[in-house]
Amino acid sequence: MAKLVGARVYNDANISIANATEVALTFNTERYDTDSIHDTGSNTERLTCNTAGKYLISASLSFATDAGGTLRILRIYLNNTTIISQVWQPNSASGNNTLESTCTYELSATNYVTAKVYQNSGGAIDASLVANSSPEFMMHRIG
């Protein structure tokens, strides 16, 4: 059986997301990391490929309920420049502002991915800590 190459990371606190500004999510805790993909000390927003191949990459978060604004966006970037996955939804004042973005992508060694979010509520709102689901970021080699 092949060794799992992957990491799943999360932030153990709410993250304040400024109004009308794309913000990179940071991750200060690892559920696991089998290939030195994540570093909790520097570049905590990155998952870095050390073993080239096809990867399943996923990010998820829940925004705090806020009646303001119209839009919530979650994007996954390759090397901080190219969007490789995104999801957006209208703001739900009733509280259902959970987003998940997932893709498969061929990564070369040293490529890295980041998860960035955007909201336009008129003020800062939190990406809320929700046990085992927000904010979370992962990538696993699948081929």
> Which pLDDT value is given to residue 44?
98
Give the C-alpha separation, 100 to 67, whole Å: 21
Q: Which fold has domain 14-141?
A: Jelly Rolls (2.60.120)
**SS3 readout for 93-114:** CCCCCEEEEEEEEEECCCCEEE
Supply the pTM of this predicted model.
0.94
Question: Per residue in 71-115, pLDDT tens?
Answer: 899 999 999 999 999 999 887 766 668 999 999 999 999 999 999
Tokens representing 15 are 């993250």
**DSSP bridge pairs for 107:** 53
Domain boundaries of the chain, sorted by first residue:
14-141
- pLDDT band with cut points at 50, 70 and 90 for residue 2: low
SS3 assignment, position 21:
coil
Contact 87, 99 (CB under 8 A): yes
> Which pLDDT value is given to residue 115?
98
> Which pLDDT value is given to residue 94?
65
Question: Per residue in 27-82, pLDDT tens?
Answer: 999 999 999 999 999 999 999 999 999 999 999 999 888 767 888 999 999 999 99
Tokens representing 50 are 């050390």
* Alpha-carbon dihedral sign for residues 8, 14, 20, 26: negative
Please report where in the chains the tokens 């990010």 appear, as a residue.
Answer: 59
